[in-house]
Amino acid sequence: MLIVSARRLHRPVWRAALACIASVASTAIAAASDTIPPVTACDRLHQESGPTMRVGEAQSRPAAGGLAAHCEVIAYLHERTGADGQKFAIGLHLRLPDAWNGRFVFQGQGGTDGVLGNGDAQPGGGQPSALNQGYATVTTDAGHSNAPGALGGASFGLDPQARIDFGYRADDVVTRQAKHFIQAYYGRLPKYSYFLGCSNGGRHGMVITQRFPEHFDGVAAGAPAFRMPEKGLSGAAVTQGFAAIAPKAPDGRPILAQALSQADMDLLSKAIVQSCDAADGLAEGIIDNVPACRFSPRTLQCPAEKTASCLSAVQVGALESYFQGPTTAQGRRIYASYPYDSGVATEGWRRWILGTAPDSRVNAFNVSFGATLAYLYMTPPHAPLANEAEAVYDFYRSVDVTEAHAKIFGTSAAMPESSVQTISANSVDLPGFRQRRGKLLLYHGVSDPTFSALDTLDWYTRLTNAAGGEETADFARLFLVPGMNHCSGGPATDSFDVLTPLVNWVEQGHAPDSIQARAGAKTPWPDRSRPLCPYPRQARYLGTGSIEQAENFTCAVP
């Protein structure tokens, strides 16, 4: 490993050293540039159908629509009839490039899965899809369909087997079957296998490291939803808190989006930045020193009546409840707290927590995912709700949080595993993944409004305490992204490639000491670049040069 201390080198030497590192990184993938052609025709993969799998499509595709020439395979595993006579199957969407680089990428999907996905795997940072880089790629619906008219959305959670398929089984069976297709098509198994995913896709990545460590050499898990049931219940408590202070619509329901105006959130964000930005030594709109931020919204509380320059007492209380994390009636914390960061005034934050609907027709993602608590997380599941969004909203803002907390840990004769056991991936016991020398690259936006960066940080701290600091950094690294909302967006350098550094780590032994990231056009500083740093290191300005360029920053221990 080449370690360069920028502070100890003259700038020309330092730039040359960085150029050397960049050269090593850019050639890591090229080192295995010899491509592997197919040994059989694509349509012959139809013959792989059997008692537990049906190949619905196996067809050669010429280069078109931004995709390289490849063999496309769609298959259905373990087809069955489940709850209420509904049809279930674990869908698989595989793309096998004509010029294969000997590697395989499984991309996990967000939400509650339920769609086959495009199957080409996106590494981020404006890089070509993994398929177009020569990887065999796959996505899955995780065992159910969200299509209109099907048992879609979260209601698949009424079926015990569908819960298990979504929770972890699909990760195993899809990986095994995809590799079987790869061997049938190319005459050999992949030399290296990788998993990429954010949100629920990040959760799937964590599941793999904990339950199926033999499948993948490297996993990149972003904003991992590894405590999805607890977060779902926390979302209900947060919605109740904001709904309680929101003005009422004529139908009597709270207008959730008006609990805090955009001007209120702008005021909050500005105060957070003013309080915490300079703690990293540079006041430029990015809060790199997250642990040093000690902001309190009480500093914005109006001394009397609400005005444009302050927040009402009830607004401050609702915000404190959100950032601190709600508890049960007995004081038991339901989910993690959230960091104060600059991205709270963004459309991405509002879209998740408050929505934008001008009336009681709520469009906040928190509420739209409310049915997951009813059907997927609680055991026994809640009785089916009406299809109207208003019914889900009414359930979410009225459910007894303490009773529901017991039910996410509950079991039944039909569902002997609780949703926490089936869906969560909170363990730090990773002996299998470590023994196979697997690499785990975690990343999380500090302004993520749904899955808290502090929860991921707590998981990483527990892993470090269990395995030791140096030992942990050898196989798992966490990169916090200041200002970034859920998986992307916000006043952040949110565009970065996770596949290249993961491949370099696995195949070349070059652990990622930083990942270069770039800000998008909608940020306050378009095209700004920064190094993302492995925790606990933070980006620090070197003192000279443009603050808009990553080369003028280093990753340092605070």
Active site residues: 199, 448, 486
Distance from the Cα of residue 225 to its chain's centroid: 6
Tokens in use for 219? Answer: 């996993």
Distance from the Cα of residue 388 to its chain's centroid: 28
Tokens in use for 282? Answer: 């540079």
Q: Residue 503 contacts by C-beta under 8 Å, 6 or more apart in sequence? A: 28, 29, 103, 192, 194, 218
Q: Look at residues 422, 390, 425, 397 and name the one whose alpha carbon lies nearest to residue 408.
A: 422
- Helical ranges in 325-398 per DSSP H: 347-353, 365-368, 370-371, 389-396
Q: Is 230 within 8 Å of 408 (Cβ atoms)?
A: yes
Place of tokens 């996990």: 108
Q: Look at residues 521, 520, 422 and name the one whose alpha carbon lies nearest to residue 162.
A: 422
The DSSP output letter for 441 is: E
Q: Is 88 within 8 Å of 159 (Cβ atoms)?
A: yes
Cα 459 to Cα 416: distance, rounded to the nearest angstrom: 26
SS3 324: helix
Burial class (CB in 10 A: 0-12, 13-18, 19+), 301: middle
Cα 343 to Cα 286: distance, rounded to the nearest angstrom: 10
Q: Look at residues 320, 301, 319, 321 and name the one whose alpha carbon lies nearest to residue 309.
A: 301
Distance from the Cα of residue 427 to its chain's centroid: 17
| Residues 198-237: b if buried by 16+ CB within 10 A, e if exposed | bbbbbbbbbbbbbbbbebbbbbbbbbbbbbbbbbbbbbbb
Cα 61 to Cα 95: distance, rounded to the nearest angstrom: 9
Cα 110 to Cα 118: distance, rounded to the nearest angstrom: 13
